């Protein structure tokens, strides 16, 4: 990114009468992945990670990223005069308070932030008499001359054979909760929630099969879906049925609420942008500010969705095994990190139903593997050699399921300490995979179990142990997760999560072992839950120090590998089947 962009932004800030501006990686829908038209943070700083915030002042600027992106942030900032700081609301607030004086203003685009996300900043700034000022026109949009056009693809029906529940039944189920809360309507600000509730999908967001949309569900189960006119594809209206009205102008929201005599509306402030909340408050409506009930309902997959996920993981596991089997020969022929990404993509393309990656593949060889969420670029892509360690974190979208898998591979000789590090990560992975826990347990209560083997020798990793995963939706789905942060969300049957402990030695290698699992009732102990594996791919045996594993851990690994071999062998080529036989031999 250029100094000229920073200078142009600073001149625009002066025109709009603010001394600094808050730049999130966000769009008005609060999507995790954003269209190119909303990549403002990348445009002004060069940082392309999935989470970050910048504050651009008239004299100084800072980029705030979490522990996953520290090395990436340093690399992508280059020689830009932008400080790199930790992504923490306290840190951001302190930095702003140090740079601005009493009476000055920090501008923000209210469509790109939530009120809970800004709460601490509002408090800290008010104590210093610094104003957080909403701006009508985003200053970056004002200077971004070649900004891409917003996406507007066709929304399409997602068939019952994949959803296992009709939209009308989902709407009635959620409407019952509205009645219990005595709310007249539920505001649906998020395309993911609309996709689930109305059984529709689209292609507007990279890696996320949704159409940009929002909606309102009323207490009687009827609804309004706000879609751009060009997004109303063939068969969509018939699919939605008469109880759902499609409106192509989102500005009619407030008129619709008055027409339907809505007095109390349920709004989730964590996924609704500030601008919408400000407008709703101006309509003399009573707001019920609680978590959107669709989020919880979407998280617990039904039997059809779980069966679809199993099938998708079988096809995806076959594609990954074809890739891993071919990897050594490809390395000998000069494979680099970017070429590996393309090779894996081609293997998945050969599988039925493949709709694209569920996120941008992490392909890190040697030191690049130590960058937790590394993205290979033409400038950074390392040639891979028959030595050291390669980390590949990838996933795919299929109509029947979403996948996410990480495998760490020994390409030849590797540092001696890596075997211990890998085995301790594996012990943590097995600890979660085999865990039985009482109903009502939250992810934060089991996170330490995955870390114990690393903690025993003073090591840790700077990311969560597991995130929720959608059904042909987001690869990072809430509210369930396994991590240190408090969620107060009990794990429930049907929830899909990742199990991905790791370890990263800066400048040398990264290690992560990730499978997707789902929560189910324990067959042996009433009132207890456990996990079942979805992912099917070998775990690198050459990196295991068998002496560090207990007998029960070895048994789990051998059983898992036997299942991988039995399920995947019929789906792959004869050459890959031979590789698979060796890769899944008992330890």
User: What is the assigned CATH class of domain 156-295?
Assistant: alpha beta
Q: Which of 358, 353, 344, 357 is nearest to 314 (CA)?
A: 353
pTM of the complete model = 0.93
Question: Coil, helix or strand for 265?
Answer: strand
The yes-or-no answer to whether 156-295 and 303-583 have a common fold is no
What is the sign, positive or negative, of the torsion defined by CA atoms of 164, 167, 168, 171?
Answer: positive
**DSSP tally for the chain: helices H, then strands E:** 19, 27
Other C-beta atoms closer than 10 Å to the C-beta of 542 total 12
Write down the H helix ranges in 333-470. Answer: 337-349, 417-433, 447-455
3-state secondary structure at position 407:
strand
The first and second tokens of residue 143, run together, are 């200077």
Cα gap 267→290, rounded to integer Å: 6
Residue by residue, DSSP assigns 174-214 as: HHHHHHHTT-SEEEE--HHHHHHHHTEE-SSBTTB---S-E
Q: Which CATH number fits domain 303-583: 3.90.230.10, 3.40.50.360, 3.40.50.720, 3.90.550.10?
A: 3.90.230.10
What tokens does 527 get?
A: 């009132």
Superfamily of domain 3-143: Creatinase/prolidase N-terminal domain (3.40.350.10)
- pLDDT tens string for the chain (587 positions)? 578 899 999 999 999 999 999 999 999 999 988 999 999 999 999 998 888 999 999 999 999 998 777 878 888 888 889 999 989 999 999 999 999 999 999 999 999 999 999 999 999 999 999 999 999 999 999 999 999 998 889 999 999 999 999 999 999 999 999 999 999 999 999 999 999 999 999 999 999 999 999 999 999 999 999 998 889 988 899 999 889 999 987 778 888 898 999 999 999 999 999 999 999 999 889 999 999 999 999 999 999 999 999 999 999 999 999 999 999 999 999 999 999 999 999 999 999 999 999 999 999 999 999 988 888 989 889 999 999 999 999 999 999 999 999 999 999 999 999 999 999 999 999 999 999 999 999 999 999 999 999 999 999 999 999 999 999 999 999 999 999 999 999 999 999 999 999 999 999 999 999 999 999 999 999 999 999 999 999 999 999 999 999 999 999 999 999 999 999 999 999 999 999 999 999 99
Burial code (b: 16+ CB inside 10 Å, e: under 16) for 450-466 equals bbebbeeeebebebbbb
Q: What are phi and psi of 519, to 5 degrees?
A: -85, 135
Angle at 444 between CA 441 and CA 448, to 5 degrees: 110
Q: How far apart are CA 277 and CA 257, in angstroms?
A: 14
- 208 - beta bridge partners? 205
Any idea where the domains of the chain sit in the sequence? Answer: 3-143, 156-295, 303-583
């Amino acid at each position: 990114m250029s100094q000229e962009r920073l200078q142009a932004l600073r001149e625009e800030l002066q025109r709009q009468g603010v001394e600094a501006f808050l730049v999130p990686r966000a769009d008005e829908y609060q999507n995790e992945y954003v269209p190119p038209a909303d990549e403002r943070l990348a445009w002004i700083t060069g940082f392309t990670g999935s989470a970050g915030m910048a504050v651009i002042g008239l004299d100084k600027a800072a980029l705030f990223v979490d522990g996953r992106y520290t090395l990436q942030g340093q690399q992508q900032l280059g020689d830009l005069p932008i400080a790199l700081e930790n992504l923490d609301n306290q840190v951001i607030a302190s930095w702003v308070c140090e740079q601005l004086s009493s009476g000055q203003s920090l501008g923000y685009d209210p469509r790109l932030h939530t009120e809970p996300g800004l709460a601490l900043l509002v408090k800290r700034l008010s104590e210093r008499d610094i104003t957080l000022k909403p701006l009508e026109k985003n200053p970056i949009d004002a200077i971004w001359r070649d900004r891409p056009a917003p996406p507007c693809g066709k929304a399409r029906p997602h068939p019952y054979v994949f959803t296992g529940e009709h939209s009308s039944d989902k709407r009635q189920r959620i409407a019952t909760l509205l009645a219990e809360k005595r709310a007249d309507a539920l505001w649906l600000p998020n395309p993911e929630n609309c996709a689930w509730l109305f059984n529709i999908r689209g292609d507007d967001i990279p890696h996320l099969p949704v159409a940009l949309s929002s909606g309102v569900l009323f207490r009687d189960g009827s609804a309004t879906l706000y879609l751009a006119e060009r997004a109303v594809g063939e068969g969509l209206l018939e699919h939605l049925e008469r109880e759902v009205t499609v409106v192509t102008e989102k500005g009619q929201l407030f008129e619709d609420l008055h027409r339907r005599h809505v007095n109390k509306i349920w709004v989730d402030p964590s996924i609704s942008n500030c601008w919408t909340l400000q407008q709703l408050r101006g309509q003399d409506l009573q707001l019920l500010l609680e978590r959107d009930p669709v989020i919880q309902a979407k998280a617990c997959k039904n039997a059809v969705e779980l069966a679809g996920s199993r099938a998708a993981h079988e096809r995806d596991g076959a594609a990954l095994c074809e890739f891993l089997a071919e990897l050594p020969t490809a390395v000998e022929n000069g494979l680099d990190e970017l070429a590996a990404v393309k090779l894996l993509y081609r293997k998945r393309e050969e599988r039925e139903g493949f709709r694209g990656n569920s996120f941008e593949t992490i392909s890190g060889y040697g030191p690049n593997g130590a960058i937790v969420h590394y993205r290979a670029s033409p400038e950074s892509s390392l040639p891979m050699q028959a030595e050291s360690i390669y980390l590949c974190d990838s996933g795919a979208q299929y109509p029947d399921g979403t996948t996410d898998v990480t495998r760490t591979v020994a390409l030849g000789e590797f540092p001696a300490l890596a075997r211990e590090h890998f085995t301790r990560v594996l012990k943590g992975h097995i600890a979660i995979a085999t865990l039985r826990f009482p109903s009502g347990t939250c992810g934060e209560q089991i996170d330490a179990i995955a870390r114990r083997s690393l903690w025993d020798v003073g090591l840790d990793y700077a990311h969560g142990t597991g995130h929720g995963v959608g059904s042909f939706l987001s690869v990072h789905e809430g509210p369930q997760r396994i991590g240190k942060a408090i969620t107060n969300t009990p794990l429930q049957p049907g929830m899909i999560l990742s199990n991905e402990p790791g370890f990263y030695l800066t400048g040398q290698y990264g290690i992560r072992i990730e499978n997707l699992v789902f929560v189910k009732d324990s067959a042996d102990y009433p009132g207890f839950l456990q996990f079942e594996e979805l992912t099917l791919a070998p775990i690198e045996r050459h990196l295991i120090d068998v002496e560090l594993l207990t007998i029960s851990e070895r048994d789990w690994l051998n059983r898992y590998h036997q299942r991988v071999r039995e399920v995947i062998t019929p789906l792959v080529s004869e050459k890959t089947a031979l590789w698979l036989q060796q890769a899944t031999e008992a330890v």
